[in-house]
Amino acid sequence: MKARRGITLVEIMVALAVIVLVTAVAIPSMAAVFDLEQRGAAKQLVDSYRLLQTEAMLRNVSFRVAYNLDRRTWWVEVGEPSALIFSDPRAREEAERERQRKLKHFTQKEIAKGEADDIVDDGTGKFTGLDTPFFETRHELPGDTTFAFVYTPQYGDPVVPNEEMPDDAEDERIVYSHIFPDGTMEYTVVRLVDIYDPADGYTVEVEPFSGQVTLDTEATEVGANQRWIPSEAPTTR
């Protein structure tokens, strides 16, 4: 009867060496793939803003990019050319209080019939989903890419995702960024990062007047490029 042959120490060492070698080759390759996915997601945002700026002027409409920070998705909606945005959080809060005050004069049945639509849209204009193939669905960030924050002046501070997914959909963090028919866009900063490495990512920055959209790997300070804009108009004597 032949004795059962075991694995020798040399064979174990060879097997471990092969595993180490394969891992050393695979990890950088996977990292490169993840980086390409992350950069691709950021580049898609840049291209979308540029396309929407052109479309807004050609079609004489307003667009807004909606970001659901908790679900890591974004989509585009279209609205009237007269759509407005809030200049700061105080204006948003005052408008919301006024909206709620007006809604108290309507029953739920009247609201459901659409009799209070002018009030329900919160005064910034009614936006609906787009009917174009590129923007008809929600875009989900790939792999381990997530939103670190999205900033526009109307929210005051950069808006970050909730620490945990809320049970109620109304509590999910949704942020809007607007594009107007005159070619101007709301100042917006979007930071995309790796879930497991928040220092690694891309920053998309939308300048308000020129409409220029830039892509950077650095986590640039919000508003740093806009400090040259005076807070008040010049006066003449």
**For residue 50, what is the domain's CATH number?**
3.55.40.10
Position 73 pLDDT exceeds 70 = yes
Q: Given this model, what pLDDT does residue 105 score?
A: 82
94 and 30 in one domain? Answer: no
Asked if residues 202 and 39 have their Cβ atoms less than 8 Å apart, the reply is yes
Mean pLDDT for the stretch of residues 1-9:
59
Q: Given this model, what pLDDT does residue 23 score?
A: 55
**Which of residues 123, 148, 173 is at a domain's end?**
123
Q: Where are the beta strands (DSSP E) in 103-229?
A: 127-129, 139-140, 145-151, 174-179, 188-194, 197-206, 213-216
The C-alpha atoms of residue 65 and residue 36 are separated, in whole angstroms, by: 23
Mean pLDDT for the stretch of residues 219-226:
65
Tally of domains within the chain: 2
Tell me whether residue 236 is in a domain: no
Better-scored residue on pLDDT, 22 or 174:
174
Tell me whether residue 235 is in a domain: no
Q: What region, left, alpha or beta, does residue 131 occupy, with left being phi > 0 and alpha being psi -120 to 50 degrees? A: alpha
176 phi, psi to nearest 5 deg: -115, 145
92 and 76 in one domain? Answer: no
Tell me whether residue 139 is in a domain: yes
18 and 105 in one domain? Answer: no
174 and 66 in one domain? Answer: yes
48 and 14 in one domain? Answer: yes
Rg (CA), the chain: 25
| Least confident window among 4-13, 47-56, 152-161 | 4-13
Tell me whether residue 3 is in a domain: no
Tell me whether residue 95 is in a domain: yes
What domain range includes position 35? 10-85+129-225
pTM above 0.75, yes or no: no
Q: What is the pLDDT of residues 126-156, one digit of tens each?
A: 777 766 655 667 899 999 999 999 999 988 8
Angle made by CA atoms 185, 52, 170, in degrees to the nearest 5: 75
Better-scored residue on pLDDT, 142 or 32:
142
Contacting residues for 82 by C-beta, under 8 A, at least 6 apart:
62, 125
